[in-house]
Amino acid sequence: MPSAETVDNALREIGKGYAQYQYFFDRLNSPAWLKPLADRGFFQKPPEPIREGQYISFPIWPESRYLIRMARVPEVQNAVLDVALRIPTSENSRVHDDIADVGLALPPSLAAKLVPQISASIPLSVKLLLGEKVKDLIVHLATGAQGPAAIELTASALALTPDPRVDRREEESILSPEPQSHFRDWYYSRIVDAAVPEVVKCSGIEVVRLFCRLLNDAIRLSRKSEEEGDEDYLYIRHPAIEHGKDPDDIPSLLLCAVRDAAELLITADPSQLPAVITVLQEQKWVSFRRLELHIARLFPEQGWALAEQSFQQPDILSRASTRHEAVLLLKATFPTLTAERKQQILVWMDAGPSEEALRNWLAFIGEEVTEEKIRHLSNRGRLDHFSILEGQLPEPYQTRYEELKAQLGTPSPPDRVSYPRFGAISAESPKTAEELAELSVDDLLGFLKSWVPGHDVFAPTAEGLGGALTSVVRKRPSDFAAAAPKMEGLDPTYIRALFGSLTAALKQGERWDWGPVLELGKWVVAQGREIPDRKGGLMDADPDWGWSRTAIIDLLTTGFEGGQDRLPLDYRSSAWEVLQPLTDDPYPGVEDERGEKFDPSFLSINSTRGRALDAVIDYAWWLRRCTDAARKAKGQTPIDFDSMPEVRDVLNAHLEIEREPTLTIRSVYGRHLTSLASLDWNWVRAHVDAILPPGRDDQPLFSAAWESFIAFNEPNTVLLQALLPAFQRAVAQIGQAMGMMRHPGSPEDRLSEHLLIYYWLGSIEFGSVDGLIETFYATASDALRGHAMWFVGTSVSRWDDAAPAQVFDRLKTLMERRLDVASQAEKPDLFVKELANFGWWFTSEKFDERWSLETLLSILRLTKKAEGEMGVVKLLSERCPRYPVECVTCLRLMIEGDRERWLLLGVESDAIELLRSALNSNNPDAALSARRLAEELIARGHFGFRTLLA
């Protein structure tokens, strides 16, 4: 036992700071300190959780960790228990985990006394590892012959509470309530699996009783209040008692737990069967009847009496919820039943379902009630009943059974079960793809014309047939391409399938005669979009010609992308005759541009007219590519819109507001601006103001085109000059304009990237007339400026050695200017994100070593933050031998700014090496700074740094 003076000295040392306190308890392995510390008030005040905003953390309690270690020392186990029992209730989950660990370390007889305390912690809303520990503790108690404690803890762990939606009066809207457990499904399942076998061994029938009670609760809490009777519908999700459990379904889990507990108990002690049955019979739900039947079957020596009793009411063989178990039981026990019971069953089987029940059934499914149908169904029922006793039927029933089989065929196995299937369902076709493939093209087209589809999605539909058609066309694209005109007049669903298949085939390298396909295309576009009185939808049929039009665009675009090889230039006029009308498709209209989620760029690639305009530009490039080689050979320039006036006409037309008022189509121009400039620079220059209108009243049109442009185009110094007014407007509006684009990223972020690229290329400059870079830095938020810096740092890191030196010089100048501005600012914290992203510049290792280190140091003195901090620490560690003072100072400043205390996660060893370099350097200032920082880090809890000072 330590002396009082030693204890006082120790308390004085550990009172100097939390690190000392933690260190002491982490190192304390002597049980002799337990009483002195307990007498001085320790082990009584666990730390509370720390809540910061929406986050919560659970501090470790070094005192409880000591208790766990001492719980393994036999001499003090009683004392440890006394101390643990006096720990007050806390919301700190770690403390409860530790108390559970104390229980696991104590002998079961002592651990049992902790059960009430641990049970009280189970309802905590946030639990860390308690589920696993409770599981282990239950087993620990059970194997240690502490049955009542094991039962109590199991009951607490598996207790169920009502679905809170019921209290919130949402009961009407929920399909069925779900009982709530204290542990999530996975832990709940593990506790059940672990508890049942072990607790049964020591507690016997009490375990069965416990799980029956839990199952009763689960069923009761799964039902809406107005439901009555004994039906629990558990058979739907658990059709066979003997099958495995669904670990995500608590009632199923508990059903199997009752089963397993009963089986284990009776297997170990057959005399327990009557007691088990009695416990089951105390519960009203039909699932318990199923369990009785199951048990009776598994243990026939004693179960025959239950079978005899159960089949007094033979209709348990036809009730949906008991059928499976009853059938199995009857098959197994029929020979052992009394003659009277056998006869009763056979007579019941021979009678078949009641006429009243059959009439009701026919009415329910909407069929005409006739004597013939009643007779048929009755015989069907008799057949199914007799089949239960296949091989066991006495005469005359065997003969009747054979006659019924001859008449109606072999019945399904009576004990077969089916599980509900959930998942994707697809449209059904009247013929399989294999059956269609056997037809000639003409015969197949004939079938498409003649077959009348329904609209029941669970029956064959046009969509289903179209799906089957798709795979057939894929295998014979040229045959179907040649026959395309014969499809005129067919349902649009089939025509879409054709075009879709041809597109896929084209991409796979297939080739065919485009003429007939384009002829069909012309016919399709001539139909317009809408089909009067047409009904369609998903898995049914196309609602109009819209999807076919899109499929045609896909086909044409695929052809254009592949050049002459895919779509020969000979088909220029035919292709245009198909494409041009699609540029006037009514979708999208202005009514499609309403709503908060409207994004012009997104809609442009998901609407017919938008995609048609895209295809027009693809068409132009197709023409260019098809003619480039020949023109180049003659020394001619590539063609422009003068050689494709049809393209120019469409593009001009859709810039007229009266004709094209949508923002969606305007965004197409923005998205393709660089592409258009490459096709016809003069046209773009002449239409810049139309595409990006300068007027204030045209802000929506400007934004639609601008956001697409800036998001989808790379910087282009030639285009910059033509778009200078637009850039100036966009930069001036930073933070003000309501952006419409939702994807892929912020247009303002992209704008910042463009500007920085123009800056480092020398296209724009501080002090230049355009004023772009100054305006950007005057209007951009700290976050946006930070993004710009991040972009530079990460871009530079990917450059090779060919990058010109003047680019680096320009970037250094930029950084120095910004640092100067921040240093002189009244509120330097408005520059934190901007400057912190210099961390990426630093770790790129592309800038002069000394310059980047000195700049980093200046920034850290201002902000104490560096992004990419792990990489920064690693690099500082590498450079410390050459620059010990600077590197230690940088690390110290980063530590001071690390409020979340995440900095050293993953780089502690690098930080240790950094300080070691400084300690071992010949620089006394560096060594002193390193020593002080090491002490600071130890005081923060990073005990690994102590190795530096040993």
Partner 1 sequence: MNTANSQQYEMTGRQQLVHRSLSEKSDSVALLYESSLRVLADNANPGRILQASHSIREMTGGLPKVLDLPILSEQGRLGDRVNALEPIWLGAAKSKCYNQGGWAGEIDGPLGKLLGALYNFFQWWKDSRPKRRDVVAGLFRSTDPSGQRLPETLEQKRVQRWLDLHDYFVRVAHGSSTTEDEFRSALDELEQILLENFHRRPSEDFSAIDALLAEDTPNA
* Contacts of residue 112, Cβ cutoff 8 Å, sequence gap at least 6: 141, 146, 148, 149
Q: Which is nearer to partner 1, 56 or 408 (CB)?
A: 56
Measured distance CA(748)–CA(710) in Å, rounded: 8
Q: Which amino acid is at 536?
A: G
In the complex, what is the shortest distance from the CB of residue 41 to partner 1, in angstroms, rounded to a whole number?
A: 4
Q: Which is nearer to partner 1, 64 or 703 (CB)?
A: 64
CA–chain centroid gap for 776, Å, is 38
In the complex, what is the shortest distance from the CB of residue 49 to partner 1, in angstroms, rounded to a whole number?
A: 13
In the complex, what is the shortest distance from the CB of residue 9 to partner 1, in angstroms, rounded to a whole number?
A: 6
In the complex, what is the shortest distance from the CB of residue 818 to partner 1, in angstroms, rounded to a whole number?
A: 30
Q: Which is nearer to partner 1, 455 or 901 (CB)?
A: 901
* Residues 118 and 137 sit within 8 Å (Cβ to Cβ): yes
What's the token pair of residue 437?
Answer: 């493939």
In the complex, what is the shortest distance from the CB of residue 37 to partner 1, in angstroms, rounded to a whole number?
A: 9
Q: At what angle do helices 805-824 and 782-796 cross, to 10 degrees?
A: 150
Q: Which amino acid is at 294?
A: H
* Contacts of residue 248, Cβ cutoff 8 Å, sequence gap at least 6: 185
Q: Which is nearer to partner 1, 9 or 281 (CB)?
A: 9
Q: Which is nearer to partner 1, 742 or 901 (CB)?
A: 901
Q: Which is nearer to partner 1, 411 or 897 (CB)?
A: 897
In the complex, what is the shortest distance from the CB of residue 263 to partner 1, in angstroms, rounded to a whole number?
A: 51
Q: Which is nearer to partner 1, 84 or 835 (CB)?
A: 84
Q: Which is nearer to partner 1, 46 or 536 (CB)?
A: 46
In the complex, what is the shortest distance from the CB of residue 46 to partner 1, in angstroms, rounded to a whole number?
A: 9
What's the token pair of residue 403?
Answer: 């006659």
Measured distance CA(520)–CA(805) in Å, rounded: 60
In the complex, what is the shortest distance from the CB of residue 935 to partner 1, in angstroms, rounded to a whole number?
A: 6
In the complex, what is the shortest distance from the CB of residue 861 to partner 1, in angstroms, rounded to a whole number?
A: 15
Residue 51, helix vs strand vs coil = strand
Chain residues in the site for partner 1 (CB under 8 A): 1-2, 6, 9-11, 13-24, 27-28, 30, 32-33, 40-42, 45, 47, 59, 63, 901, 934-936, 938-941, 943, 946, 949-950
Residue 164: asked if its preceding bond is cis (omega within 30°), the reply is no
What's the token pair of residue 30?
Answer: 């002597």
In the complex, what is the shortest distance from the CB of residue 30 to partner 1, in angstroms, rounded to a whole number?
A: 5
Q: Which is nearer to partner 1, 16 or 861 (CB)?
A: 16
Q: Which is nearer to partner 1, 48 or 227 (CB)?
A: 48
Q: Which amino acid is at 818?
A: R
**What does the DSSP assignment read for 342-363?**
HHHHHHHHHH-S-HHHHHHHHH
Closest to 740 (Cα-Cα) out of 780, 694, 704: 704
CA distances from 865 to 183, 371, 752, 913 (A): 41, 88, 22, 21
In the complex, what is the shortest distance from the CB of residue 813 to partner 1, in angstroms, rounded to a whole number?
A: 36
Measured distance CA(139)–CA(249) in Å, rounded: 23
Q: Which is nearer to partner 1, 33 or 211 (CB)?
A: 33
Q: Which is nearer to partner 1, 32 or 268 (CB)?
A: 32
Cα of first residue to Cα of last residue in the chain, in angstroms, is 29
Measured distance CA(698)–CA(692) in Å, rounded: 9
CA trace torsion 167, 173, 175, 180 (10° rounding) = -20
Q: How many CA atoms lie within 13 A of 405 on its CB side?
A: 14
In the complex, what is the shortest distance from the CB of residue 900 to partner 1, in angstroms, rounded to a whole number?
A: 10
Residues forming beta bridges with residue 596, ordered by sequence position: none
Phi, psi angles (nearest 5°) of residue 416: -70, 140
Report, in angstroms and rounded to the nearest whole number, the Rg of the chain calculated over CA atoms.
Answer: 40
